[in-house]
Amino acid sequence: MAPKLAIIGAGMGGLTLAAALHPRGIAARIYEQAKGFERLGAGIQMSPNAMRVLRGIGLEPRIRMTAFQPRTWTNRDWDSGALTNELPLGGEAETKYGAPYLLMHRGDLHEALVSRVPAGQIELDKKLVDLDWGGRGVTLRFADGSKAEADAVVAADGIHSRVRELWLGPEKVNHTGRVAYRTTFPAALLNGYAIDQCCKWWGADRHIVIYYITANRDEVYFVTSVPEPEFTVESWSATGDLDQLRSHFAGFHEQVQRVVHACPRVHKWAIVDRDPLPGWGKGPMVLLGDAAHPMTQYMAQGAATAMEDAVVLSRCLEAEPHDIPAAFQRFAMARRERTARIQGTSQQNTFMRQPTNPDWVYGYDAWSDPLPEYA
Ligand SMILES: Cc1cc2nc3c(=O)[nH]c(=O)nc-3n(C[C@H](O)[C@H](O)[C@H](O)COP(=O)(O)OP(=O)(O)OC[C@H]3O[C@@H](n4cnc5c(N)ncnc54)[C@H](O)[C@@H]3O)c2cc1C
């Protein structure tokens, strides 16, 4: 009989895992703490390694219809606008990597992933509070007093993973002392002023990334990294002060000025990460995505690597459905080195500032990358 799997968290990683497992005949139930899904005001970059994941679960045509494919990703000096690096991302990159580089609304991506999970497989308003995985199988306990049983559990519950805490005890995240201001807004508010399709503006101690997130370029997104050590709130809903945002970018190039002055509101998020973990689980429990390897957003690879994890885990479970702990170990072995390298490179925040070869990031194919032998 196929194993019964519990996935904690209906974020990018958890949803991709359920979507990848379904055609393999492995039943997974997702338990999500939220009462419903909100359309968060954020953009997201899906690089070719992530688009290959989406292609494999049947979402590429849908994503292509709404997402924006930029011609290039430009990197510029903050004040002069001098080009420091220009990475082709249009047809040339698509031919090279066999998949496109697309920019989109985070809500569109999340909605698309939800559409690939069979109805009834996601249980909302189920906040996991406790977990017993000492005996045969796993018992999950939720904040509403209910409980559920499964053969194994995958923790896709994000950077503040409750499962990780139950396993390793309380740990502190790494506070970078920096803040991501971010917002999406109608391009019409720029009053016809032309901006780069996708550009990272590099200052001495701060940056801003600006790009379109819709195929018809009617919506703009930006995300920053600026020093603000006193602010430590991580939340998709916390709002920021527009004057403070604008003062952070005083003196930046006119394109940046136009964008930060056009946006009508802004959100604010303290940037944190964690260092790589030596192991990702124990017995019938494993961590995935941000629960295992949270990173700063400077390479735009957090969701991409969570989705890659999901595919590799689905392959390991298909290969070894009757020994889940072995499948989990194999999955962690397959993924640790790559994700640790991306976490470390993201921490440095130099990726793409100067000409850089990104083949090791974008060329990866989670569907075919060889799985390691069992330990
Ligand atoms: C400003 C910003 C910009 C970013 N830009 C990009 C980008 O362009 N490209 C990219 O690839 N990545 C990007 N990332 C990173 C990306 O958002 C994350 O890495 C990604 O969302 C991780 O996916 P996940 O499924 O592991 O966790 P999450 O998406 O955080 O999902 C975790 C889910 O678990 C649920 N949950 C948590 N605790 C419980 C519990 N106890 N019980 C039940 N459910 C629970 C949560 O409600 C949530 O739905 C960005 C991040 C930030 C902050």
* Ligand 1 pocket residue status of 103, Cβ below 6 Å: no
Q: Bridge partners of 184?
A: 221
CATH tag, 46-60+68-110+175-273: 3.50.50.60
The pLDDT score that the predictor gives to residue 9 is 98
Tell me the pairing of strands 198-202 and 72-77: parallel
* Ligand 1 pocket residue status of 34, Cβ below 6 Å: yes
Out of 31, 97, 101, 211, which one is annotated catalytic? 211
Residue 231 to residue 252: CA distance in whole angstroms: 23
- The pLDDT-based confidence of 16 (bands split at 50, 70, 90) is very high
Domain borders along the chain are 4-36+124-171+274-361, 46-60+68-110+175-273
Assess whether the region 4-36+124-171+274-361 and the region 46-60+68-110+175-273 belong to the same CATH fold.
yes
- Expressed in angstroms and rounded, the spacing between residue 375 Cα and the centre of ligand 1 is 30
8 A C-beta contact, residue 178 and residue 228: yes
For 136-177, the pLDDT digits (tens) are: 889 999 999 999 999 999 999 999 999 999 999 999 999 999
Instruction: State which of 30, 33, 127 you would mutate to test the pocket of ligand 1, scoring each by most atoms of that ligand within 8 A of its C-beta.
Output: 33
The pLDDT score that the predictor gives to residue 325 is 94
pLDDT at 192 > cutoff 80 = yes
The pLDDT score that the predictor gives to residue 135 is 74
- The pLDDT-based confidence of 3 (bands split at 50, 70, 90) is confident
The pLDDT score that the predictor gives to residue 237 is 76
Structure token digits, residue 56: 């494999």
* Ligand 1 pocket residue status of 280, Cβ below 6 Å: no
- Expressed in angstroms and rounded, the spacing between residue 163 Cα and the centre of ligand 1 is 15
Please state at what angle helix 302-319 crosses helix 48-56, rounded to 10 degrees.
40
- Expressed in angstroms and rounded, the spacing between residue 288 Cα and the centre of ligand 1 is 11
pLDDT at 300 > cutoff 80 = yes
The pLDDT score that the predictor gives to residue 68 is 98
* Ligand 1 pocket residue status of 162, Cβ below 6 Å: yes
pLDDT at 38 > cutoff 80 = yes
Mean pLDDT, residues 316-345 taken together: 96
What's the CATH fold of domain 4-36+124-171+274-361? Answer: FAD/NAD(P)-binding domain (3.50.50)
For 47-63, the pLDDT digits (tens) are: 999 999 999 999 999 99
Instruction: State which of 126, 179, 290, 295 you would mutate to test the pocket of ligand 1, scoring each by most atoms of that ligand within 8 A of its C-beta.
Output: 290
The pLDDT score that the predictor gives to residue 171 is 95
Q: How many CA atoms lie within 13 A of 204 on its CB side?
A: 1
Residue 293 to residue 287: CA distance in whole angstroms: 9
For 224-258, the pLDDT digits (tens) are: 999 999 988 877 778 899 999 999 999 999 999 99
